[in-house]
């Protein structure tokens, strides 16, 4: 019996994902437990194993297509097995999708009158579906010539070529508008491929695009790029935070002289153990200490209860290509500075190589976001739900300060704490920052 492979749910917060790579192609033999495809979420990629042994009868989604958890992705069964009834059962449970008519779509009304409405699952390859979408073609009108009537790319192309000559003209929206303004018939333009605005300009002057450049300032076209899963989830979580969490941001200037001196003094000793100490590592150690003293800043709100977390799991915001990832180091309050530094550096390196484990993305209780390396003097960080607080760290800048009646130059940085006011009141947030400031300016107090 054919088996339906669906998008797995890994973690409580995962709602959707995509297939970034198929390890097998249709018709290939698949062993149970063998890697079938690579799935991707907003933060991670992970290998997915075949649940059963058999033949990969069909792949149902295109690469990088965002699908919900539990959605069908592929079918595994015996060679030649009929699996259409299985897909029909799944499809019948879905609401009918509303088809939107594209302004550049082909005129297929005549074809629609000749064919009855296709119900249920359309058997087509992912590439055929994408090609049909690109041309604005209703794929249910295309006759398939592949195995068991499956629609393949060449079937869509053949359908496109069967429509009227006027429909064959491919032109950019700007070129179409410009042709109408200049009275140019797009069919008269001889060009392989898509007609662009430059072709219309040259045609209006009786020239070809290969001749002398026209004296025309071409308007710049907008570009559209796909919204990645990472950007979608970042947007959803930030919108959730800003619309459901009442926050206040508290700012405080801190003298980093003592912390700079401390790092300089322990740097060589740490390097002998192959560990490089950074300001982030020391700040994580300091924040872990203060969070144990102010447990409401290390809490979460769960319906009608407040969860006071036993461990301090500090997340560090890491910029990656296309977005932001916040993995966290577990139980920071129980670890030495060397352990914190070693684990953090390893975690950040694996974050940038997309090799994080799922549990490293979950369970954070506090976040540090440091933009000091970009010269930021102040910014308002957004709380990462369900956490209560996030600390923004800015650039350390030499500034004149009045110390004991004298003007001295000191390395100053602004710390910005954004807190969920449902959990952390203003006075407690202020005390939290004051204590962080005290330990930064007097780090030897950590020994007490």
Q: Answer for the pair 135, 160: CB distance below 8 angstroms, yes or no.
A: yes
β-pairing, 16-22 vs 67-68, is: antiparallel
Report the pLDDT value the prediction gives residue 176, as an integer from 0 to 100.
Answer: 75
C-beta neighbour count of 430 within 10 angstroms: 15
Report the pLDDT value the prediction gives residue 67, as an integer from 0 to 100.
Answer: 86
User: Sign of dihedral through CA atoms 131, 21, 6, 324?
Assistant: negative
Report the pLDDT value the prediction gives residue 100, as an integer from 0 to 100.
Answer: 42
The mean pLDDT of the chain is 84
Report the pLDDT value the prediction gives residue 20, as an integer from 0 to 100.
Answer: 86
Long-range contacts of 6-12 (CB under 8 A, 24+ apart): 6/69, 6/70, 6/71, 6/72, 6/73, 7/39, 7/67, 7/68, 7/69, 7/70, 7/71, 7/73, 8/39, 8/48, 8/69, 9/69, 9/70, 10/41, 10/46, 10/358, 11/358, 11/361, 11/362, 12/362
Average pLDDT score over residue span 141-168: 70
Number of helices (H) and strands (E), helices first, in the chain? 12, 19
**Closest CA relative to residue 296, chosen from 429, 418, 392, 415:** 429
Report the pLDDT value the prediction gives residue 97, as an integer from 0 to 100.
Answer: 43
β-pairing, 323-325 vs 318-320, is: antiparallel
**Closest CA relative to residue 376, chosen from 396, 395, 399, 390:** 395
Question: Any residues with CB less than 8 A from the CB of 301 and at least 6 apart, and which?
Answer: 307, 386, 388, 420, 422, 423
User: pTM of the predicted model, to two decimals?
Assistant: 0.61
Q: Answer for the pair 381, 392: CB distance below 8 angstroms, yes or no.
A: yes
3-state secondary structure of 252: strand
- Each domain of the chain, given as residue ranges in start order, spans 3-92, 109-165, 229-447
Q: Answer for the pair 364, 315: CB distance below 8 angstroms, yes or no.
A: yes
For the segment 133-145, what is each residue's pLDDT rounded down to a tens digit?
776 777 887 888 8
Question: CA-CA distance, 53 to 88, in Å (whole number)?
Answer: 22
Fold classification of 109-165 is: Dihydrolipoamide Transferase (4.10.320)
Task: Choose the weakest-confidence range: 2-6, 39-43, 347-351.
Answer: 39-43
Question: Any residues with CB less than 8 A from the CB of 35 and at least 6 apart, and which?
Answer: 23, 47, 48, 49, 50
Q: What is the CATH number of domain 3-92?
A: 2.40.50.100
Q: Which position among 28, 107, 181, 421 bears the catalytic label? A: 421
Question: CA-CA distance, 273 to 439, in Å (whole number)?
Answer: 25
Q: Answer for the pair 22, 39: CB distance below 8 angstroms, yes or no.
A: no
- The per-residue DSSP string of 276-317 comes to ---HHHHHHHHHHHHHHHSGGGGEEEETTEEEE-SS--EEE-
Report the pLDDT value the prediction gives residue 244, as an integer from 0 to 100.
Answer: 95
343 pLDDT tier (thresholds 50, 70, 90): very high
- The per-residue DSSP string of 165-202 comes to HHHH--B-HHHHHHHHHHT--GGG---SS-B-HHHHHH
Q: What is the CATH number of domain 229-447?
A: 3.30.559.10
3-state secondary structure of 388: coil
Question: CA-CA distance, 393 to 124, in Å (whole number)?
Answer: 52
88 pLDDT tier (thresholds 50, 70, 90): low
- Name the range with the highest mean pLDDT among 4-18, 96-110, 207-221: 4-18
Question: CA-CA distance, 164 to 162, in Å (whole number)?
Answer: 7
Report the pLDDT value the prediction gives residue 402, as an integer from 0 to 100.
Answer: 92
Q: Answer for the pair 43, 361: CB distance below 8 angstroms, yes or no.
A: yes
| 281 among known catalytic residues | no
381 pLDDT tier (thresholds 50, 70, 90): very high
Q: Across-strand partners of 30? A: 54
Beta strands in 181-258 (DSSP E): 247-255
Q: Across-strand partners of 412? A: 255, 397
| 398 among known catalytic residues | no
Q: Is the pLDDT of residue 112 over 80?
A: no
14 pLDDT tier (thresholds 50, 70, 90): confident
Question: CA-CA distance, 174 to 135, in Å (whole number)?
Answer: 17
Q: Is the pLDDT of residue 374 over 90?
A: yes
Domains 3-92 and 229-447 share a fold: no
């Amino acid at each position: 019996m054919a088996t339906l492979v669906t998008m797995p749910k890994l973690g409580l917060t995962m709602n959707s994902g995509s297939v970034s790579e198929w390890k097998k192609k249709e018709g290939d033999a698949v062993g149970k437990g063998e890697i079938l495809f690579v799935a991707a979420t907003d933060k991670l990629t992970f290998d997915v194993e075949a649940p059963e042994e058999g033949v990969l009868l069909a792949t149902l989604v295109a690469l990088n297509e965002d699908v919900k958890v539990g959605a069908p992705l592929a079918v595994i069964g015996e060679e030649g097995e009929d699996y259409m009834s299985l897909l029909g059962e799944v499809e019948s449970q879905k609401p009918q999708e509303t088809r939107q008519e594209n302004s550049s779509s082909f005129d297929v009304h005549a074809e629609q009158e000749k064919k009855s409405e296709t119900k249920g699952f359309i058997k087509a390859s992912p590439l055929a579906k994408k090609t049909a979408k690109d041309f604005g073609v209703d794929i249910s009108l295309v006759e398939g010539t592949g195995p068991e009537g499956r629609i393949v790319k060449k079937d869509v192309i053949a359908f496109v070529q069967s429509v009227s000559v006027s429909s064959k003209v491919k032109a950019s929206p700007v070129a179409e508008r410009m042709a109408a303004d200049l009275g140019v018939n797009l069919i008269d333009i001889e060009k392989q491929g898509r007609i662009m605005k430059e072709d219309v300009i040259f045609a209006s002057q009786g020239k070809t695009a290969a001749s002398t450049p026209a004296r025309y300032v071409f308007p710049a076209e907008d570009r559209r790029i796909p919204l990645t899963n990472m950007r979608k989830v970042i947007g959803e979580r930030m919108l959730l935070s800003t619309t459901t969490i009442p926050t206040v941001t508290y700012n405080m200037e801190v003298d980093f002289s003592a912390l700079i001196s401390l790092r300089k003094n322990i740097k060589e000793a740490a390097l002998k153990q192959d560990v490089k100490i950074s300001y982030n590592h020391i700040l994580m150690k300091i924040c872990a200490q203060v969070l144990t003293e102010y447990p409401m800043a290390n809490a979460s709100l769960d319906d009608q209860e407040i969860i006071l977390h036993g461990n301090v799991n500090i997340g560090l915001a890491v910029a990656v290509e296309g977005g932001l990832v916040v993995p966290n180091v577990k139980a920071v309050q129980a670890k030495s500075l060397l352990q914190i530094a070693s684990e953090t550096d390893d975690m950040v390196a694996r974050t940038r190589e997309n090799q994080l484990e799922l549990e490293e993305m979950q369970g954070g209780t506090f976040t540090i976001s440091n933009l000091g390396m970009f010269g930021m003097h102040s910014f308002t960080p957004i709380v990462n739900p369900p956490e209560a607080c996030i600390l923004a760290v800015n650039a350390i800048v030499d500034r004149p300060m009045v110390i004991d009646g004298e003007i001295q130059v000191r390395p100053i940085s602004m710390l910005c704490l954004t807190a969920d006011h449902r959990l952390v009141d203003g006075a407690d947030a202020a005390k939290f920052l004051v204590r962080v400031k005290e330990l930064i300016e007097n780090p030897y107090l950590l020994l007490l």
